[in-house]
Chains A and B, each alone.
Chain A
């Protein structure tokens, strides 16, 4: 069971997810310690392993820095659900083996603190707090395979093995 952390904001950008002042490292634990720092200074205190971030449109806009994905992964976030994602961030997430869900009206359908379960293969979110099922378009099979293999490079390695 995962707890939802809802940000009713559009355009949450890569500078907010991981400010560039921390890009002098690619150490995941260190990046995670600054995850979302410029958006919500309490973020890391609030989140437990497997929790879900929910936001509005254009999540991850800005830089191509994969550090943004690594910071969120390092913070042990299970997935990000947003109305829409910026293109490079979305691609980076799949490449890193991290689940992203596009869901229209996400910040209205899920409240801050809701307990949810996600079935990625069928495209179902079980919102236990509100006792309702939400469906979403699951990622195509090739993207799910990449995620399940732990990211693009591990996927390539597995295919070449």
Chain B
């Protein structure tokens, strides 16, 4: 039977020869991702229910990231619960502060994500890992608790929407602009319960960092998972990086696999895009919104806090001055170090930015860059819901690192191509 890549991965994980959309399956999990907000409650549930065990100490990856370093006493307590549990259980891949980073940047970078595998995490942006040809989705604390204890989880096999990315990106247009356009086209629930499979000639030109930006935001269209098939670029990223085991199974969609829907995007026509408040689907070409005054620029997060984003922002900020407060958050310690080694941190410093330690921080309105009432932030993050980065009367505008950096210089929404 012809299957999509998502169906093939779920068939293998559930011990079936084939699966079809709508089928309920029980899948074996290869990696469980745990962070500081949703895992401590899961641990408490396991203890309360007397099922305090972990299915495999090598398949659970733990990092505090949302409120790390601890922003207050309560988050310190969360970290303490996470730390105590990880040590007690002998979790092999625990990344405490110093090693800790934004989970969806950290796990691929540290070699925990393998093609063909099933990954779940207590975070909605767990769909990021689909960039490696894996099935990956976010779950809540109860499912997380069950996953930690049993190594299994039930799923309804999702039907797939195929996004064919045609053409070639123009200068100043990035993968963030592609995904904002895809979300604009289908809406924030247009891919509800669906797998979002991204294919087409544009993918071949994208780095793994750029691909992760696309799959990261699958959830913003309601998707269960985002997925991009393995290729030579995937292989080059994984080589020498994988932990524990370096072999993996590569799946690809059959040519005659069935799709719920197929959507073609002419990427040659894309402009730098900004998602205006208060939905990620509210994308507008920069030409329609340029000039709107901003109060803050935020460059970071699991969407666009990787080294490529840092390089793109630095290229624009080099020898310039920011006009608004600009917060740069390299997503992992390794990226943070790379920024120093490549002279990027110095560029940010010279431009008047502040560079913080890796954290999810202000992306979700946690700390390290919270907005006051009436303030507007141009941000490389993934959500612009009401109050997302601070006061309910503040506003978040989502864009690429290039658009964010250009806007920081001008203090208003700005076409990055004027600086390239």
Contact of B385 among A16, A95, A156 (CB under 8 A): A16
Contact of B192 among A38, A39, A84, A152 (CB under 8 A): A84
In the complex, what residue of chain B is closest to A19 when comparing beta carbons?
B387
Beyond contacts A63-B123, A92-B143: 4 other A-B pairs, Cβ-Cβ < 8 A, are A11-B279, A20-B364, A24-B71, A88-B140
Interface string of B45-75 (1 = CB under 8 A from A): 1101111000000000000001100011011
Which residues of B are at the interface with A, using a C-beta cutoff of 8 A?
37-38, 40-41, 44-46, 48-51, 66-67, 71-72, 74-75, 78, 122-124, 126, 138-143, 145-146, 188-189, 192-193, 219, 222, 224, 279, 364-366, 370, 383, 385-388, 392
Q: How far is the CA of A156 from the CA of B388 in the complex (A)?
A: 35
Q: How far is the CA of A54 from the CA of B365 in the complex (A)?
A: 27
Residues of B within 8 A of A92 (CB): 140-143
Indicate whether A48 reaches chain B with its CB closer than 8 angstroms.
no
A61 x B189 contact (CB < 8 A): yes
B38 x A64 contact (CB < 8 A): yes
Contact of A152 among B72, B124, B143 (CB under 8 A): B143
Q: How far is the CA of A78 from the CA of B270 in the complex (A)?
A: 46
B189 x A156 contact (CB < 8 A): no
In the complex, what residue of chain B is closest to A146 when comparing beta carbons?
B142
Residues of B within 8 A of A19 (CB): 365, 387, 392
- Given the interface contacts A24-B72, A63-B124, A65-B37, does A86 sit within 8 Å of B142 by beta carbon? no
Residues of A within 8 A of B139 (CB): 64, 88, 91
Contact of A64 among B45, B140, B188, B279 (CB under 8 A): B140
Q: How far is the CA of A39 from the CA of B142 in the complex (A)?
A: 26
Q: How far is the CA of A152 from the CA of B177 in the complex (A)?
A: 39
In the complex, what residue of chain B is closest to A69 when comparing beta carbons?
B140
The 9 closest A-B pairs by CB, nearest first: A95-B142, A92-B140, A24-B74, A66-B140, A58-B189, A20-B364, A64-B124, A26-B41, A64-B138
